Chains A and B, each alone.
Chain A
Amino acid sequence: MAPRSLWNGSIAFGLVTVPVKVYTATESKTVHFREVHAKDGGKIEHRRICPKEGKAVDSKETVRGYQVSARKWVELTDEEVAAAAGTQTRLIDVDHFVPASEIDPVYYEKAYYLGAQDKGRDAYALLLAALEKADRAGVGRWVFHNRERTVIVRPLGDALALHTMRFADEIVDPSDFDLERVRRKPTEQEIKMAGSLVEGLHTRFDPSDYEDTYRQEVLKLIEAKAAGKNIELPEPEEAEPADDLLAQLEASLSA
Chain B
Amino acid sequence: MPRSLWTGSLSFGLVNVPVALFSGVRDRDLHFRQLHAKDHTPIETHRFCAEEDEEVPYDEIANGYDETDDGEMVILTDAELAAAAPHRSRTIDIEAFVDLEDVDPIYFDHPYVVMPSGEAEGIQRAYRLLVEVMGRSDRAALGRVVMRTKEYLALIRAREERLVLTTLLWHDEVRPTDPVPTPTKKDKPAKKEVDAAIELIESFSCDWDPSRYKDEFQKRLRKIVNKKAKGQTIEIPDEKDEQPSPVPDLMAALERSLEEAKAG
Q: Which residues of B contact A40 (CB under 8 A)?
A: 49, 51-52
Q: Which residues of A contact B1 (CB under 8 A)?
A: 177
The answer to whether A115 touches B14, judged by C-beta atoms less than 8 angstroms apart, is no
The answer to whether A61 and B38 touch (CB under 8 A), given A130-B201, A179-B161, is: yes
Q: Which residues of A contact B29 (CB under 8 A)?
A: 147
* Chain A min CB distance to B79 (Å): 6
* Chain B min CB distance to A180 (Å): 5
Q: Which residues of A contact B129 (CB under 8 A)?
A: 186, 190-191, 194, 245
Query: Can you list 27 A-B contacts (CB < 8 A)?
Result: A14-B258, A23-B180, A25-B174, A29-B173, A40-B49, A43-B49, A43-B64, A47-B46, A50-B41, A73-B35, A80-B224, A91-B244, A116-B181, A121-B183, A121-B187, A128-B182, A141-B216, A156-B104, A167-B214, A170-B27, A172-B22, A186-B132, A204-B98, A210-B170, A212-B170, A218-B81, A225-B74
The answer to whether A25 and B106 touch (CB under 8 A), given A74-B229, A136-B205, A241-B118, is: yes
B168, B194, B256 interface centre (most CB from chain A within 10 Å): B194
A18, A114, A226 interface centre (most CB from chain B within 10 Å): A226
The answer to whether A62 touches B106, judged by C-beta atoms less than 8 angstroms apart, is no
Given A134-B202, A179-B115, A214-B85, 11 additional A-B pairs, CB 8 A: A19-B243, A51-B42, A65-B40, A79-B236, A90-B243, A138-B201, A190-B129, A207-B104, A234-B83, A241-B120, A241-B123
Instruction: Give the number of residues in B that approach A within 8 Å (Cβ atoms).
Output: 187
The answer to whether A233 touches B80, judged by C-beta atoms less than 8 angstroms apart, is yes
The answer to whether A241 touches B18, judged by C-beta atoms less than 8 angstroms apart, is yes
Convert A200-239 into 0s and 1s, putting 1 for each residue whose CB lies closer than 8 angstroms to a CB of B.
0111110110111111011011100110000111101101
A8, A25, A236 interface centre (most CB from chain B within 10 Å): A25
Convert B150-182 into 0s and 1s, putting 1 for each residue whose CB lies closer than 8 angstroms to a CB of A.
110101000111101010111111110101111
Q: Which residues of A contact B193 (CB under 8 A)?
A: 126
The answer to whether B46 touches A49, judged by C-beta atoms less than 8 angstroms apart, is yes
Q: Which residues of B contact A73 (CB under 8 A)?
A: 33, 35, 40
When A and B form their complex, which 7 residue pairs have the shortest distance between CB atoms, in order from nearest?
A252-B13, A14-B257, A42-B51, A120-B246, A214-B151, A234-B86, A148-B217
Q: Which residues of A contact B83 (CB under 8 A)?
A: 221, 231-234
The answer to whether B142 touches A205, judged by C-beta atoms less than 8 angstroms apart, is yes
Q: Which residues of B contact A166 (CB under 8 A)?
A: 25
Q: CA of A198 to CA of B138 in the docked complex: distance in angstroms? A: 11
Q: Give the size category of A's interface with B.
A: 35 or more
* Chain A min CB distance to B244 (Å): 5
Convert B55-99 into 0s and 1s, putting 1 for each residue whose CB lies closer than 8 angstroms to a CB of A.
010001111111010101111110111111111101100111111
The answer to whether A183 touches B121, judged by C-beta atoms less than 8 angstroms apart, is yes
Q: Which residues of A contact B48 (CB under 8 A)?
A: 44-47
Q: CA of A84 to CA of B225 in the docked complex: distance in angstroms? A: 10
The answer to whether A90 touches B13, judged by C-beta atoms less than 8 angstroms apart, is no
Q: Which residues of A contact B94 (CB under 8 A)?
A: 201
Q: Which residues of B contact A113 (CB under 8 A)?
A: 175, 177, 180
Query: B28 on the interface (CB 8 Å rule)?
Result: yes
The answer to whether A198 and B133 touch (CB under 8 A), given A21-B181, A35-B63, A231-B83, is: yes
The answer to whether A105 touches B155, judged by C-beta atoms less than 8 angstroms apart, is yes
Q: Which residues of B contact A115 (CB under 8 A)?
A: 180-182
The answer to whether B13 touches A205, judged by C-beta atoms less than 8 angstroms apart, is no
Measured CB to CB, the nearest residue on chain B to A98 is B208
Convert A37-77 into 0s and 1s, putting 1 for each residue whose CB lies closer than 8 angstroms to a CB of B.
11111111111111111000100011111111000111110
* Chain B min CB distance to A210 (Å): 5
Q: Which residues of A contact B98 (CB under 8 A)?
A: 202-205
Convert A1-15 into 0s and 1s, putting 1 for each residue whose CB lies closer than 8 angstroms to a CB of B.
111000011101111
Measured CB to CB, the nearest residue on chain B to A33 is B63
The answer to whether A47 touches B45, judged by C-beta atoms less than 8 angstroms apart, is yes
* Chain A min CB distance to B86 (Å): 3
The answer to whether B56 touches A44, judged by C-beta atoms less than 8 angstroms apart, is yes
The answer to whether B205 touches A97, judged by C-beta atoms less than 8 angstroms apart, is yes
The answer to whether B150 touches A242, judged by C-beta atoms less than 8 angstroms apart, is no
Measured CB to CB, the nearest residue on chain B to A204 is B102
The answer to whether B64 touches A41, judged by C-beta atoms less than 8 angstroms apart, is yes
